[in-house]
Amino acid sequence: MSTAFFSATYAEARAKFLRACGERGLPVEHRVHPERGREGEELATDVARIGPGDAGHVLFTMSATHGVEGFCGSGVQTGALRSGLYDAMPEGMAVVLIHAINPHGFSWLRRVTQENVDLNRNHVDHGRPYPANPGYEELKDAICPGEWTDESRAVARAALDAYAGRHGAMALQGAVSGGQYGHPEGLFFGGHATTRAAGILAAIVAGHAATARHVAFVDYHTGLGPYGHGELISDHALEEAGHGRLVSWLGADQVTSTDDGSSASAPLTGVNGLCVAASAPHATLTMVTPEFGTSPVDEAIDSLRADCWLHNHGELDSGKGRAIKAEIRRCFYPDADDWKAMVWGRASDTERKTIAGLATLG
């Protein structure tokens, strides 16, 4: 059953992925993290490749950009190996599986890297002025309050709701989650330097796409949209050829965009697609972010706010700390068989269509 592809912890997820690689006789690159996990386990970004080293067409899949979301992508990657999804690859094509690009966040049930940086906001030119987010500046004390009590939460919620009342719900979501570069202790912080994980991602793409004429990139996420639904968010501007290819391969009624407001996501800064594009400038790019719904968006964001408070002001090994960790896990990984089956069905279908589409390119 597809539910067996998924895991309860990072350590279990890594073990399953490596076992699946071993069963196929695949060599695995291990980018070992300098810190240990919450169970004392080794942390690593593991990379496996199926297909010729000089492939002209390369599909990348990636899990755990946002660590706590890694349960989803890891399960899909293990399932793809165990189910034989790649057994009949077109000639001249390779698949590269990037397992747990942010293993620290995966293990410790955090969205961010060990630097408290959101990897999917980190890919900006750190030598230039950072993108402004005036909404975050206005709401920063409500987004990340100094106390996490019923009273402080009610006050903060009133401020957030008032902003939404003035500007709209999506404007609030953008203010909170679009990316900010002024508050290193805060949420959705894009960093003031290239993170370790961003450097690893760039090196992996550059190395494995060195001979590629065409690259497809699938970056698995959770937390937005209806329960179990896999929204396929285009990582391209509407006018870009990559967006057109996604529409052709996956369906015009399936592909969404932040450009036209059809996505459950607000527009974002410093996203992973920028890193992929910079690392494979010689190739055509077709990039998509499958986003699997879990809990209502307010619950998901509140779980992140609580986790931010916990790591700034609280104690991990306390009743409140354990409750906050349980809630963030629930909000980004519904550990339920129906959800896992929905994820696997959508993800495997998306990858099959992407492989078929990639094969049509000359």
Q: Assign residue 118 the CATH number of its domain.
A: 3.40.630.10
Residues 48 and 113 in one domain: yes
What's residue 122's pLDDT? 98
Helical segments of the chain, H only: 10-23, 70-83, 103-108, 134-143, 150-167, 169-177, 196-208, 241-250, 272-279, 297-313, 319-332, 337-359
What is the pLDDT, as a whole number, of residue 111? 98
Q: What is the Cα–Cα distance from 238 to 92, expressed in whole angstroms?
A: 29
- Given this model, what pLDDT does residue 332 score? 98
Please check whether residue 185 lies inside any domain of the structure. Answer: no
In this structure, the answer to whether residues 233 and 348 fall within a common structural domain is: yes
Query: Would you place residue 207 in the very low, low, confident or very high pLDDT band (cuts 50, 70, 90)?
Result: very high
What whole-number distance in Å separates Cα of residue 222 and Cα of residue 73? 9
Domain for residue 289, yes or no?
yes
Q: What percent of the chain has pLDDT over 90?
A: 99
Calculate mean pLDDT across residues 167-171. 96
Structure letter (DSSP) for residue 297? H
Q: What is the spatial distance between Cα 78 and Cα 106, in angstroms, rounded to a whole number?
A: 16
Report the C-alpha gap between 102 and 44 in whole angstroms: 8
Task: Answer yes or no: is 183 within a domain.
Answer: no
Tell me, yes or no, whether 33 and 161 share the same domain: no
Query: With 90 as the cut, is the pLDDT of residue 1 above it?
Result: no
Predicted pLDDT of residue 34 = 97
Cβ–Cβ under 8 Å, residues 113 and 119: yes
pLDDT of residue 189: 98
In a domain, 54, yes or no: yes
Quick one: 153 and 12 in the same domain? Answer: no
The arithmetic mean of pLDDT across residues 223-250, rounded, is: 98
Interhelix angle 337-359/241-250, rounded to 10 degrees, is: 120
Q: Is the pLDDT of residue 223 over 90?
A: yes
What is the span of the domain harbouring residue 263?
2-129+190-294+333-359
Domain assignment of residue 184, yes or no: no
Q: Give yes or no: residues 101 and 167 share one domain.
A: no
CA 48 to each of CA 96, 212, 295, 297: distance values in angstroms, whole numbers, following the listed order:
6, 17, 32, 33
The reply to whether 86 falls in a domain is yes
pLDDT at 155 (0 to 100)? 96
Q: Is 318 part of any domain?
A: yes
Based on the fold, state whether residues 209 and 276 are members of the same structural domain.
Answer: yes
| Residue 182 resides in a domain | no
* Nearest one of 16, 107, 33, 120 to 68, comparing CA atoms: 107
Q: Say if strands 221-227 and 93-99 run parallel, antiparallel, or are unpaired.
A: unpaired
261 with 198, same domain: the answer is: yes
pLDDT at residue 149, rounded to an integer: 95
Pair 81, 102 in one domain: yes
Same domain, residue pair 196 and 268: yes
Pairing of strands 42-50, 93-99: antiparallel
pLDDT at 43 (0 to 100) = 98
- Alpha-carbon distance values, 31 to 141, 197, 199 (Å): 37, 10, 11
pLDDT score at 335: 94
Per-residue pLDDT tens for 105-119?
999 999 999 999 999
Per-residue pLDDT, 362: 85
Is the domain of 55 the same as that of 160? no
Rounding to the nearest 10 degrees, give the CA dihedral for residues 249, 251, 255, 261.
Answer: 140
The tally of domains found in the chain comes to 2
Residues 264 and 340 in one domain: yes
Average pLDDT, integer, range 128-149: 97
- Average pLDDT score over the chain: 97
Structure tokens at 274: 């920028």
Better-scored residue on pLDDT, 1 or 53: 53
Bridge partners for 221 per DSSP: 291
Q: Are residues 208 and 327 in the same domain?
A: no
